[in-house]
Chain A
Amino acid sequence: MVLSDRMAATPATRARALTLRAVSKSYVPGQLAVERIDLDVRPGEFVSFLGPSGSGKTTTLMMIAGFEQSSSGVISVDGREIDAVAPYDRNIGMVFQNYALFPHMSVAQNVGFPLRMRKVAGGEAKRRITDALAMVGLADFAARFPAELSGGQQQRVALARALVFEPDLVLLDEPLGALDKTLRERMQMELKRIHRELGVTMIYVTHDQTEAMAMSDRIAVFNRGRIEQIGTPGEIYFAPRTRFVASFVGDSNLFEGRCGTQGIVEVEDFGELATGRADLSAGSTVNLLVRPETIRLRRDGVSPWPTTSTITVEEMVNYGDSYLLVGKRSGREIRVRVPSIDMPELRRGAECGIEWNPARVHVIAAERPTS
């Protein structure tokens, strides 16, 4: 852990800020793959790009790495514009989706490659390679070749190679996509540890929302070439700004309705829903988000909350720690997460009372139609 100690002692000198200003990319004239991205990544921050495939997150990453040229806009690191800088001069580390290790070089040579390119040689290079491999837990594998390593180990080599030259930024393109679930969770924790120890700014591309939630300081949610929202995992989850974010991140119940007075929203075919928000302008259209785990099954007795309803149970899925209950009410699907210990005996087709705290209802202002 020599490297981590040494680097952790000077995190401020290594962490860089990344700024994107109105960055666009179009492959076909008139069609934007990425549309006016604005983004400020603070020094040492761990930011995830989350979105479905084709949402522009990887394209944006490739523009930061320099493999794609932006059509317009400015990308800068610590205020220094890098748009005209070739990829090999950017000093940005990248971990590729398929690791992209050099199969004809040993682990030590792979990790030493960026040092060789920077004319770091001899004892200094050797020490840094050893430190980097120790950091990812592969100290004894220096003489191996990539083909002799498991997927998780190759992943670690790729990470060590992207970190060993003390890059200004580290970009990770779905690095854990090919690993199985257990290994993925272990690598997530390791990545977080390394991020903490080195304090280097990291950009992490993923389409896995739990991964983004678990690891990020902030998440940028991409959709159709734009950032729909950028915020902490908590903000993204509980206070999504658009319908897309609400439905892409986590499980959701979304109701579209018309505002009445005193925070009451009239939802067609469903009834009136209280929101606990007094500032809604009457007559405007809004979307309401109720997370499935904020809904409770109604017990006998008086409910503390005014929002109660009845659903017909259609489907029950056991996840071990919890059940997902899918019910219907006037043709509308309602999803409820019930902790297993609270799950009553239920049958398909049974009627079931539900209730929730209106303060937990999140109001999403109706989106302006986007052209």
Chain B
Amino acid sequence: MLIVVPMSFSTAPSLEFPPPGFWLGYYRRFFSDPNWTGPVINSFLIGLGAMSLAMLFGAPASFALVRHSFRLRQLFRILVLMPLIVPHIVMALGYYSYFGSLGLVQSMQGVILAHACLAIPVVVLTLTSALANFDRRVENAAANLGARPFTAFRLVTFPMLRPAFLVAALFAFIQSFDETVIAIFISGRDSATLPRQMFNSFQMEADPAISAASSLLLAAVLIGIGARCRKSGQEPTRAFARLSDRGLTPWYCRTGWRQLPRRAPAP
């Protein structure tokens, strides 16, 4: 971090430390060269796609794992968490040969599928731990008061677990965003992700733009996690409820960016 970030502001024509001078030219190049902007866009698209898929499969899997006991549950858990254990390079080889026969190699869909598979364990780990601590009596209370199962989920379970869902989605996105090995194997030129482009560029020319890319990648991840930490200090849903109580539901309340002073419990 201390080496790469200064290098990205360097005047040197290749990677060199300490940097001989200060220059923003590599950032300008990074944002104007389609060889860099293309992968950035790809990385975002793939990250969002993988995140959506991982949530789509990971969330129901988490509910099943925590709330139902069924035969082979332990086996199912291991299966779901497998991508966490298997070395990426091994999976990459597997994807390469299997996706080859499906025509998915060098396509964005292929990378999304592979990354979703990697992100599912992250989602499942986050959600199962949140669900295990979730008091189901609150759901019983909702049912008792007249809420059908889906209504109870929509109005009670999901809002209460919303922070966990957000964390799970964010981690799934980051998992995909900085994954390199599989991307190198199966993303093509048109679907190259940012880490893959950085790897290529490093091999070919040691272009200092790569240090600019690294710095930006780092910044992106830090901002994502920083935002998460800032938010976990508040209770976004409280603010939302308070405003909707008064008939106000501005869009930003739904994501919960407002912070309210915590009132002390009344005597």
A residues neighboring B (CB under 8 Å): 65-67, 86-94, 96-98, 100-106, 108-109, 113-114, 117-118, 141, 143-145, 147-150, 153, 161-162, 165
Would A106 and B146 count as touching, CB distance under 8 A? no
Q: Does B241 contact A (CB under 8 A)?
A: yes
Which A residue sits closest to B160, measured CB to CB? A104
Q: Please classify how large the interface on chain B is, using the bins under 10, 10 to 19, 20 to 34, 35 or more.
A: 20 to 34
B residues neighboring A (CB under 8 Å): 135, 137-138, 140-148, 151-152, 155-156, 159-160, 235, 237-238, 240-242, 245, 262-267
| In the bound complex, CA of A100 to CA of B138 (Å) | 5
Q: A87-B144, A114-B146 are in contact. Are A106 and B263 (CB under 8 A)?
A: no
Contact partner of A102 (CB less than 8 A), chosen from B138, B144, B146, B240, is: B138
Q: Please name 4 further chain A to chain B contacts, defined as beta carbons within 8 Å, in addition to the given A100-B138, A117-B146, sorted by A numbering.
A: A88-B152, A93-B144, A100-B141, A104-B160
Q: A141-B266, A149-B266 are in contact. Are A87 and B245 (CB under 8 A)?
A: no
Q: Which of A67, A100, A113, A141 has the most CB of B within 10 A?
A: A100
Would A165 and B266 count as touching, CB distance under 8 A? no
> Chain B: interface secondary structure?
helix
Would A113 and B241 count as touching, CB distance under 8 A? no
Give the chain B neighbours of A114 by CB distance below 8 A: 145-146
Would B156 and A102 count as touching, CB distance under 8 A? yes
| In the bound complex, CA of A209 to CA of B141 (Å) | 26
| In the bound complex, CA of A102 to CA of B241 (Å) | 11
Give the chain A neighbours of B146 by CB distance below 8 A: 88-89, 91, 114, 117-118, 165
Nearest Cβ distance between residue B154 and chain A, in whole angstroms? 12
Give the chain B neighbours of A90 by CB distance below 8 A: 144
Would B245 and A148 count as touching, CB distance under 8 A? no
Would A106 and B144 count as touching, CB distance under 8 A? no
Which B residue sits closest to A92, measured CB to CB? B144
Nearest Cβ distance between residue A61 and chain B, in whole angstroms? 11
| In the bound complex, CA of A105 to CA of B242 (Å) | 8
Give the chain A neighbours of B237 by CB distance below 8 A: 104
Would A87 and B140 count as touching, CB distance under 8 A? yes
Q: A98-B137, A106-B241, A117-B151 are in contact. Are A148 and B265 (CB under 8 A)?
A: yes
Would B160 and A103 count as touching, CB distance under 8 A? yes
A-B contact pairs, 19 of them (CB 8 A): A86-B143, A88-B144, A88-B147, A91-B146, A96-B137, A98-B137, A100-B140, A102-B141, A105-B241, A114-B145, A117-B146, A117-B151, A118-B146, A141-B266, A145-B238, A145-B241, A145-B242, A148-B265, A165-B145
